[in-house]
Amino acid sequence: MGYVTAAEACRPLVRALLGPRPGIGFEFWDGSRIEGQGDHPGTLRVNSKDALRHMLWAPGELGFGRAYVSGTIDVEGDIVETVRALRSTAPEQMGLDPRSVLRSGELLWRAVDSARRVGAFGRRPPPPPEEAPRPHGRLHTRGRDAAAISHHYDVGNDFYRLVLGPSMTYSCARFAATDDTGHSAPDATLPLDQAQAAKHDLICRKLGLSERPNMRLLDVGCGWGSMAIHAAATYGAQVVGVTISKAQAELARKRVAAAGVSDSVEIRLADYRELRGEQFDAISSIGMFEHVGTKRAGEYFRTLHDLLRPHGRLLNHAISSIGGSAMNGWSFVGRYVFPDGELIDAGEVVLAMERAGFEVRDVESLREHYALTLRRWVTNLENDWSRAVDLSSVGRARVWRLYMAASAAGFEDGGLGLHQVLGVVPDAQGHAEIPATRRAWG
């Protein structure tokens, strides 16, 4: 038998995964290629046999992610479009659970045969060093949540500033500009910091902060303080922001002082479950609910309900997925990015809020806006790649590039959703003071 190139050995596997006309091209470590047949300009470069070993030992999303983070696979061209091409042609194989891949006898046989032909059999390759440690203790207890949050958010404030831009806002922006009539219209060209301010302003108006000054706002999972600063500076709100990330709390306090709103904003290093006996007029929860989990959702909404005065409003802004999904140990995001994270169906969020005593008054999807936000973050990372690596590590930067690109693709194809759910606490007579239409907040 003559010499077999890596492309020849892997072509049956690529065909089984992506069909006879793969939408992306492949370039292998020996220089051989499989040309892409679609309009997509990207190329998946397989730098080493270890890439196949990673995907043999962890078929599906996790193995691909490990291969990318370790550098045994690279993406040339638009990484979001590359991930979209993979998701559209191999949705099951790129799913969360490798057991779905192993159910396909043809796929398993092709993977084993390709690995055999290129000499890729061998022991399990070590996982890349950025893999998150397995969480310990009971799920979503305060100690375990604090460890999971620290893994993700205490990467370094300078790293996040590079990725997020000057707004330092790690949640979906709103690409809509307000016209002279006070109404908003989509504007995909809006600068990211302005789009983040537009999101904060929308939430403030939904919560009624524009209706009277000095309202007391609780910002749960306040991040680096952007929402708190906007609410205090724009609407005169008295804000308590809570986070369980030390790095976030330290920088949030500095940003509050620099914005001149220290008299109006208090940043606490605290868990929302520690807030007992206090009363607020409004609560914002932006990009925090993903860390709560299905089993704790009822407790979460009951706790927030009890912190609100009658007629008080809650705005829950969170990523969702149809039927819900847990970021478990089989998934790349669960293993490398958001340990213990969980996405809950928007319908279940509404039901949990109603069971906790809220009257749900509005549900709005910002799915397309999050895709635009993530593409901006990926661009920021790629444009200052060397500094991002210096501020973290090669592995960490590669984790963030892949997870943000995959998330952007998910929001674009509808695999992920983003919903703002607005609830109000009725008074003893069942009345809830809230505008009858959306015109109040645009």
* Right CATH for 142-440 from 3.40.50.720, 3.40.1180.10, 3.40.50.2300, 3.40.50.150: 3.40.50.150
Compute the distance between CA of residue 251 and CA of residue 272 in angstroms, rounded to an integer.
Answer: 19
- The candidate with the shortest Cα–Cα distance to 373, out of 216, 233, 188, is 188
Compute the distance between CA of residue 418 and CA of residue 321 in angstroms, rounded to an integer.
Answer: 8
* CB proximity list for 262: less than 8 A, separation 6 or greater: 256
* CB proximity list for 266: less than 8 A, separation 6 or greater: 239, 240, 241
- How is residue 146 written in tokens? 């604090």
- How is residue 297 written in tokens? 């959702």
- Amino acid found at 131: E
How confident is the model at residue 140, as a pLDDT?
Answer: 57
| Helical spans, DSSP H, in 155-208 | 157-164, 192-206
- Amino acid found at 283: I
How confident is the model at residue 12, as a pLDDT?
Answer: 83
Q: Residue 237 in contact with residue 217, Cβ under 8 Å?
A: yes
Strands 43-46 and 73-76, bridge-based pairing: antiparallel
Compute the distance between CA of residue 331 and CA of residue 95 in angstroms, rounded to an integer.
Answer: 8
How confident is the model at residue 397, as a pLDDT?
Answer: 93
Burial (CB count within 10 angstroms: exposed 0-12, middle 13-18, buried 19+), residue 311: middle
Compute the distance between CA of residue 391 and CA of residue 4 in angstroms, rounded to an integer.
Answer: 42
Compute the Cα dihedral for 369, 365, 432, 350 and give only its sign: negative
How confident is the model at residue 214, as a pLDDT?
Answer: 94
User: pTM here?
Assistant: 0.89
Burial (CB count within 10 angstroms: exposed 0-12, middle 13-18, buried 19+), residue 68: buried
How confident is the model at residue 103, as a pLDDT?
Answer: 47
Q: What is the DSSP letter of 94?
A: T
Strands 33-34 and 25-28, bridge-based pairing: antiparallel
Cα separations (Å) of 442 from 63, 110, 198, 264, 410?
44, 54, 11, 26, 27
- How is residue 426 written in tokens? 């009725």
- How is residue 100 written in tokens? 């779905």
Q: Residue 343 in contact with residue 142, Cβ under 8 Å?
A: no
Q: What is the DSSP letter of 155?
A: T
Q: Give the chain's residues under pLDDT 70.
A: 1-2, 38, 40-41, 89-109, 129-154, 178-184, 328-329, 442
Compute the distance between CA of residue 21 and CA of residue 343 in angstroms, rounded to an integer.
Answer: 34
Q: Residue 246 in contact with residue 267, Cβ under 8 Å?
A: no
How confident is the model at residue 101, as a pLDDT?
Answer: 47
Domain limits, CATH 3.40.50.150, in the chain: 142-440
